[in-house]
Amino acid sequence: MITPEQRQKLRGWFAGRLPDDLFEELVEVTVDREEITVIGRIPAPRLAEGASATEREAAVQGRVQEFRERTREDRMEVAREAEHRFRRKVSWGVECAGERAMFTHVAAPVMTRLRQPERQVLDTLIAGGVARSRSDALAWCVRLVQRHTDDWLTELRESLEHVQRVRAQGPDAGTGDTHDEER
């Protein structure tokens, strides 16, 4: 497990080690057991006023590709040092005009045991063409949960607060009893 202090040291190392002109801003440094992910902000392309969404999308893709190619050697040098120092692979990505693009990432295998109803969910995703394999289907499920985690946790917290309010208004409110017993 990585401590908050270790995370801060890691972010500080990258902030100090990256060339000053590499990113406009170091947005995020994330670490787990296998990988360090470094995300930096790069300048948005300058477009004519009134440019279409299609033109903007293509310009951002072009800017990201140009940055990736131009900075490859610098990023590889930093990654080699970091991988030696921190014993983890380094993955890179950028934010440009509100879009995030990853250049590299580690796909680490994860073993799990699933019961039949859980396997049936994965098999349904395969049958529906959402995934090619159970592994792909499970990864799809994790991405879906990840995308909705904040909404779900907020809803869960609100539900728990509601339950606490209802309990406080119940027949045992103020007595400390939360269940019926013969007295």
pLDDT at 144 over 60: yes
Range of the domain at 155: 116-168
Q: How confident is the model at residue 145 (pLDDT cuts 50, 70, 90)?
A: confident
Residue 110 has pLDDT above 60, yes or no: yes
The stretch 154-179 carries a mean pLDDT of 76
How far is 157 from 137, CA to CA, in rounded Å?
Answer: 28
Q: What is the pTM of this model?
A: 0.68
Give a yes or no: residue 176 inside a domain. Answer: no
Q: What is the mean pLDDT of the chain?
A: 89
Q: Is residue 66 in some structural domain?
A: yes
Q: Is residue 110 included in any domain, yes or no?
A: no
In a domain, 135, yes or no: yes
Whether residue 68 has pLDDT greater than 90: yes
Is residue 70 predicted with pLDDT exceeding 90?
yes
The verdict on 85 and 25 lying in the same domain is: yes
Query: Does 96 fall in a domain?
Result: yes
What percent of the chain clears pLDDT 90, i.e. is strictly above it? 67
Q: Residue 176: its pLDDT value, please?
A: 53
Residue 182's pLDDT band, with cuts at 50, 70 and 90, is very low
Of the candidate ranges 38-42, 52-56, 148-152, the one whose mean pLDDT is the lowest: 148-152
C-alpha 48, offset from chain centre = 33
pLDDT score for 183: 37
122 & 87 share domain: no
| Alpha-carbon gap, residue 23 to 78, rounded angstroms | 14
Domain assignment present for 24: yes
What's the whole-number mean pLDDT along residues 111-133? 92
Residue 181 falls inside a structural domain = no
Q: Give the percent of the chain with pLDDT over 70.
A: 93
Domain boundary pick from 55, 71, 102: 102
One-letter identity of residue 146 = Q
Same domain, residue pair 86 and 44: yes
The secondary structure of the chain in percent helix, strand, coil, rounded to multiples of 5, reads: 50, 15, 35
Q: What average pLDDT does the segment 12-17 reach? A: 97
Q: Are residues 54 and 79 in the same domain?
A: yes
The least confident of 85-89, 93-97, 174-178 is: 174-178
End position of a domain, from candidates 78, 102, 126: 102
90 or 164, which is more confident: 90
Domain count, the chain: 2
Q: Where is 151: in which H helix or E strand?
A: helix 134-168
In this predicted structure, which of 19-23, 85-89, 128-132, 146-150 has the lowest mean pLDDT? 146-150
